[in-house]
Structure formats: structure tokens, C-alpha cells
Amino acid sequence: MTFDELRGLSASWLRGFVPMPEVKADASQQRAVKLLIDAHDQGYGTVLSLKFPFHHQPIPRPDTQAMTAELTRVDKVLQAILDTVDVLTIGNEPFIESRPQDIDSDAMNTYYETVAAHIIAYRKKHFPSGCRTRLYMGALNRLGQPNERTRATARWLSFTQGTPEIEGVDIHPHVAAPEKVQPFLDYILPRLRKDQKFLVTEFSLIHLWKEHLKDTIPAEFARRYDFPPDTPVWKMISEAIDRPVPEEQWHDFLAMSPWFETNKHFLRDQMRRFRDTGRLAVATYGVTQSEAMARNFGPDKQPWLLNSLYANQTAEPSHGDLPARSYGFFDDFRALQRTQDRRPVRTPKVAT
């Protein structure tokens, strides 16, 4: 992602996450932190999520050497970003990035509550007169599934509600149908204080796209672009990654696919849903198709690249130095920008 691409989108906020094991002596040089500080200096609003990857190892317990090591890394990030980054989210996707046994045993909740209390104390000590950086608890996933609304998610929101310094919670509604986003709001909003808001730093129809990878491509598209009529969707995408197609052809592929065409305004419609609550703080959306999204693409790959605002891995550039635009989402994203939502542009510390 580049700042030219952000300007092409008329974006005014930028969100990133820092994998905490990457934090060394100077956190300001970690790639996500460095980029967000640069974005701040250029006048963007900024959101940073702290990512603690404990998928395959026990989560640290309070008053242990492992916890001390984690809090030391947290301090390095706080030293670099407090009063600069606008929003700090404590945890990226804790319910996915923790082992099931740590979630079930309350170890995960205890860990994140300990980290949050440490951050609150650090901020109070170093910024007694006030700090620009607002604190949110990290993202809840899969709330559309009743079995994912557990004692642990209830405790997560109870802690959020009961901690005055926490201003709300983040959600990541990655769903299989547009209507499956509403249960996220129905679950979190009654469990937050009236003065609290929510973030949506990720949302998509990724599970719907995945369901259609083994479909055959539209017959009209196959005829127009001389593809075998039995070509599966995943193979067409894979070939576009290997040999990017003209932007018009990429748009035709999506426009002629009913599963995408009927959902091309998903971003617009969900933003209306979020804003209508009167409780949305910030929502962010993926900018570009990354190399990781495109690598080894096949029928079982998560098709994240169908979400992005630029089609830089699957289509040829057609707007000067900027990548090809996504179908539907790009135009809706630009149209959704509100001038009254923009942060005041500060004088850059670095010339651009």
C-alpha cells in the first residue's frame, strides 16, 4: 500500500496492526508502526492494533517472566505511539489468535485485561494531563454464530463496559451473507456503555466468495473472452494472477457473476448500517491485493483478494501510476468519504 493509493481513494484514516514478537529495541522502526507515524505526520487519522499471536503456545499468566516480557514489548510500542496514533486497539483478533483451552479457562481474558490495565497505567503516568490516543478492546469475530457468543465474549464486553478508560470495542464481521453482520451489532451494543462506540477495522463477504470458487465462470464471460465454458472461478482468478487482465475484463468477470454482482454494494450498505447506530467511531477496509493473497491460489484458498479496493494482482494498471480499481467497492469507498469526518490536516513533519 502506498500513500498515492490512499490519495486515489480520498481516504483520511489508516489502520494497521503490529505483531508483537516483531517488536525489538526501537518499536518506531517496526514497519506498521513506522508507517502509521508517517501517516500521522501527513495528517491522516490512525488506528493501531496490537497483535498477540498465541495460536500455538500457552498464553502468559500474570506475574510470570513470560508476562513481564510481553509487557516490556508493550511499553516499547507505547513509547513510540502514545499521543501520536489516534486509536490503540488492545488485541487484534484474540478469539482466533489464542488456543481454545486458554479461551475456555479464562486465561485469555485475564491476559488481555492485564495488558489493558498496564496500558492505562502507563498512559496515566506518562500523560497525566491527557493523551490523544484513545483505547479500544480488540476485535470480536464470528458473533453471527450463536456458539461463538460465549462466557468469554460476555466477559470481554463486561470488562470493556466496566473500564472507564476504554472507549469501546472493535468487531471484524467476516461473513457469508450481508444480513449476518447485524448480529454483531445486536450483541455488542447493549453490552457497551451509552458513551462508548465501536470500531469496524475489518469486514467482508469472504465466506460467500469462498463458497463460489468451484462454480464455473459465467457463460457470457467465457464466450466473450474465449475461456473454456467449464472453467472454474478459482482457475480464472489464478490465471489472472499469473497474467493480469485488462481492468474492463476483470470488472466484466465480477459483474457477470451473480454472487458478486448482487453484493457489489456490500461496503456501502454495511457502512449505512454502522452509521445508523450513531455509535460508529471508525471503520476501515482493505486497500490492495497482497502477494500473500495471490500466492498458490486454488480452490481452497481464502479469496481475500476479492475484497480489496484495488485489483493490483489480477488486473493491469489503467490509471497512470495507480493500480486497477476494484469493481463496485472502489467507487463506493470514495463516495462514502465524509468531509466532516476528516481529521484536521496537520502540518507534515516530513515533506511529501
**CA distance linking residue 120 with residue 106, whole number of Å:** 21
Distances 236 to 221, 231, 249 between C-alpha atoms, Å: 11, 7, 11
Name the residue type at position 144.
Answer: G
C-alpha cell at 191: 453490552
What's the number of CA atoms in the CB half-sphere (13 Å) around residue 98?
26
C-alpha cell at 30: 517496526
**CA distance linking residue 219 with residue 225, whole number of Å:** 10
C-alpha cell at 342: 476528516
The answer to whether 84 touches 52, Cβ cutoff 8 Å, is no
C-alpha cell at 261: 454482482
**CA distance linking residue 100 with residue 59, whole number of Å:** 11
Residue of 222, 214, 246, 224 whose CA lies nearest to 314:
246
What's the number of CA atoms in the CB half-sphere (13 Å) around residue 57?
7
pLDDT of residue 318: 85
Q: Coil, strand or helix: which one is 145?
A: coil
Indicate whether this model's pTM tops 0.85.
yes
The answer to whether 280 touches 273, Cβ cutoff 8 Å, is no
Task: Report phi then psi at 136, rounded to 5.
Answer: -130, 150
pLDDT in tens, the chain (352 residues): 899 999 999 999 999 999 999 998 899 999 999 999 999 999 999 999 999 999 999 999 999 999 999 999 999 999 999 999 999 999 999 999 999 999 999 999 999 999 999 999 999 999 999 999 999 999 999 999 889 999 999 999 999 999 999 999 999 999 999 999 999 999 999 999 999 999 999 999 999 999 999 999 999 999 999 999 999 999 999 999 999 999 999 999 999 999 999 999 999 999 999 999 999 999 999 999 999 999 999 999 999 999 999 999 999 998 889 999 999 999 999 999 975 454 543 433 332 2
C-alpha cell at 163: 473500564
Distances 64 to 55, 59, 67, 69 between C-alpha atoms, Å: 19, 11, 5, 9
